[in-house]
Structure 1
């Protein structure tokens, strides 16, 4: 069937498309690299006409046009499922707020929501001959967005990679209300946090030593997971698989090094399965129409039933800090918002249920403040306002440059002792003194 005529009938300018948005509406901006460009600029032109418009999205890779004006917060509010650096700045300006989630549940939030979107608008790849617009590396929750929005506007971008192989990764033209042909901007890139430091490499080595041949990998974003990826690419490991929330550049390096074939995966054999991807152009080129990749919604990729079905599942994620009870904060510095829950807990739980699976929470033992003070990431208790991403019962392995410890099944004094053993030596005596005050330290330990 030829969809050319229907395409022409639904094709409008960005300015025309955004006329459907009214004051008080909820407008979904899609996700990450799919955030609209031309439609965002068109909506910004209508600022003076609109009040109390709630925008929803996440992981912005460039500033939004609607928030360029100083009084933008009087007209628009940004509601984010996961914060980027840009969105953290918006918090400080007073018009951005985080929506706490367990990422695997996000599609259901839309389908069960009492406040569905009035309009959804986002970037897609050009329509294929079957009438489908691919979501690019943003399957995530986008089908649920489309199913529950009153109006759906797609902004076509010729630079958007077509990410196939799974399900709920495209929308058919029959389910689209308006089509906008944008300016085809380059897809937003997300770096891996710079070159790996000596600390990153030390942590990575401790983790790589725990990875068996045939393992299935999940990597978080940041320097340490990327260092692990680089080390895997240079290792003798083989027959690895991928099942991850976020596809990152490190997977491309591992795959090109011949380490990934997915032959040992219990489900989705020979496929690299992921919920969304953000990285460099190298990664987008690799994802584009690659039959080895499987783009799927996070209700599948992050479901602990999917994760636990894969033997030798290895989950590697970062933390901001950890306390002596084993509580992991990966989201904030006290009340200062940094990131979001994402799927970390999903993968911590799922990996432990996997046959031979392991989850690793990794961090440097210290960080340096802007005024040059050395601070420990391992704390007696989390700072007031800090978010507990993983509870003390969830954490499996904790890894710093000073070692790795398995914290499962330990009593409070054993867990405390193990955590202090991987803290920076300069802080250990102080941590022991604090542990004694909290009655989680046995005097015989030291």
Structure 2
């Protein structure tokens, strides 16, 4: 076989374009295709709308053939051979039939095999003979200057053609001619058959799949809202093939000038090109062009693809090569998962002994984004399964495959938030993941983590009692223009609290705690960071605001009396090197607004008389106060009953 790239480099254009066997002499009918195939052959067929369905139907209907092995990267379309028996057809796929809706109960007998191999590994399997192919059956465009285009079925088709003994093409005038590495010389094709049927749309490829039970729209919407915060303008995005990733696509409309480097071009991603969301202007490689290897959608999408110079179809091994991905700055990859354990192990293709997807390019996507300058690898999953079980578990069920190891995971996203766990200890991972687990399971997960020795028995676990109050999150700009993130505290902030304490001067520590302290006891750190959000509150100021490796530069809190006998007491503090930025006044009004919102109408504070800055802030707050003094300590009682909440929030 002549490889297109080698052919073009050879300079032998005239010779290669005048093959000894004419194109028309290779034309055969569908029934004649069967005669070209031998019993026991392994056949590669394309995926999605590039599946040679008519030829496959003819092979199935003709009873001459037996013991045929079908190799397909991603199942889809009319696959009549799946209703046959193992003596006639067996199928090998790199994505589980259970997820695509084609799974049959007799898969255990060998009719349908799933290979848990990543896309980039398949060419090596072919080179080393571990994966054998006799015949490649492909779908192509009509010839143009002695070349045909693989259209939107590039995936790994050229690799299979290179190693196949025979290449048979369905020539379809409806197949778009695509740019990129999609062209092959007519001389690479041994036989061809004309089939001019319309290409299958997404719903025709997977009939009934979109009517299957799925996650609640509000759950997917919240996941999308959490993910889009991690995607900046001008980023390049890449998504796994899990249908869960599709829920993120509509949220991309909130961003500008995105790039796309992805396995699949889908209907929504096509529309985002038309709307000017995806422009590829700022991609550091393949600038100005979307790069994909397959596509499926509507007939409008197929017309959009045809001879469109802004699209390039390239091999799946190029799309998913971590070394290629690493060259793309600000690459955000999103992978859908089935389960995550409390140490950060991710399962994407199986739960226990059942397979629901494929490893596809998950680990390569994670590694590529990790190596990308400004990149982020994101794993998404709903907190609950369709059966109502927690998707965040102490340990993955026995038999479950680990697709992404705990050492490679960075971002885990559910509808309840984002857990950044890269480089974190097991204790920190547990607390972060429990924080984004479904509230129904948080207490149980906490107790399991304690029993396993993952976290301390002294961990209060108050945070698991109520949902994180996301409404108090905001960005803020200080007097000198510094950007900070302001949010309620989380248990994972414990180590940052310790660091915050040790960055305070001795004088600041004395003014806050009324005594000299050389260290912050663990019990105080836990009590401050692990709170019941329905009773207590602590708000921290974080810098930088758009990263997960940040420092606490200020904190405000109140602590309620568990017996309800006393007025909750507030305290706040700003790191010495951040004083003068107006954060003291801002935090005071922020904590007061939070109290008013939660129905707390009275707060008190004890302040040393020598703490002039704090006393001035309280005296000029505009909030009605009662004041008393005893042994150099001034006690303020704040009455929020008549205070307009908007005056606190707008300041």
TM-score where L is the length of structure 1: 0.91
Tell me the residue number matched to 1:358.
376
- Residue 88 of structure 1: SS of its match in structure 2? coil
Aligned equivalent of 1:430, options 444, 448, 456:
444
Deviation at 1:223, TM superposition (A): 5.6
Describe the superposition over 1:121-152 as per-residue Cα deviations: whole angstroms up to 9, x where unpaired.
Answer: 1222222x222221121211110111110000
Give the conservation status (yes or no) of the 8 Å contact 1:319–1:362.
Answer: yes
Q: Does 1:78 align with 2:91?
A: yes
Aligned equivalent of 1:289, options 307, 330, 345:
307
| Structure with larger RCO (C-alpha < 8 A, sep 6+) | 1
Aligned equivalent of 2:323, options 297, 305, 317:
305
- Residue 70 of structure 2: SS of its match in structure 1? strand
Matches of 1:19 and 1:223, distance apart in 2: 39
Tell me the residue number matched to 1:57.
72
Describe the superposition over 1:185-236 as per-residue Cα deviations: whole angstroms up to 9, x where unpaired.
Answer: 4324257958981111111111111211210111234565333221221x2x
Tell me the residue number matched to 1:332.
350
Matches of 2:101 and 2:390, distance apart in 1: 27
Q: Does 1:179 align with 2:199?
A: no
Aligned equivalent of 2:142, options 113, 116, 126:
126
Give the conservation status (yes or no) of the 8 Å contact 2:241–2:360.
Answer: no
Deviation at 1:114, TM superposition (A): 4.4
Tell me the residue number matched to 2:488.
none
Deviation at 1:284, TM superposition (A): 2.5
Aligned equivalent of 1:201, options 212, 218, 221:
221
TM-score where L is the length of structure 2: 0.63
- Residue 207 of structure 1: SS of its match in structure 2? helix
Matches of 2:168 and 2:114, distance apart in 1: 24
Give the conservation status (yes or no) of the 8 Å contact 2:223–2:380.
Answer: yes
**Bigger shift: 421-430 or 211-220?**
211-220
Aligned equivalent of 1:414, options 401, 419, 428:
428
Which segments of 5 or more consecutive residues in structure 1 lack a partner in the other structure? none
Aligned equivalent of 1:383, options 382, 397, 400:
397
- Residue 113 of structure 1: SS of its match in structure 2? coil
- Residue 404 of structure 1: SS of its match in structure 2? strand
Cα 1:88–1:74, aligned 2, differ >3 Å: closer, same or farther? same
Q: Does 1:320 align with 2:376?
A: no
Deviation at 1:183, TM superposition (A): 4.8
**Bigger shift: 246-255 or 399-408?**
246-255
Deviation at 1:409, TM superposition (A): 0.1
Aligned equivalent of 1:108, options 103, 108, 124:
124
- Residue 152 of structure 2: SS of its match in structure 1? coil
Total equivalences in the alignment: 434
Give the conservation status (yes or no) of the 8 Å contact 1:38–1:182.
Answer: yes
Cα 1:247–1:331, aligned 2, differ >3 Å: closer, same or farther? same
Deviation at 1:58, TM superposition (A): 3.0
Describe the superposition over 1:16-47 as per-residue Cα deviations: whole angstroms up to 9, x where unpaired.
Answer: 12212222211112233222222112211333
Tell me the residue number matched to 1:158.
173
Matches of 2:313 and 2:281, distance apart in 1: 18
RMSD: 2.2
Tell me the residue number matched to 1:227.
247
- Residue 325 of structure 1: SS of its match in structure 2? coil
Could you say which structure has the larger radius of gyration? 2
Give the conservation status (yes or no) of the 8 Å contact 1:230–1:253.
Answer: no
Matches of 1:193 and 1:3, distance apart in 2: 48
**Bigger shift: 262-271 or 237-246?**
237-246
Q: Does 1:16 align with 2:16?
A: no
- Residue 6 of structure 1: SS of its match in structure 2? coil
Describe the superposition over 1:96-129 as per-residue Cα deviations: whole angstroms up to 9, x where unpaired.
Answer: 00112121222232233245311111222222x2
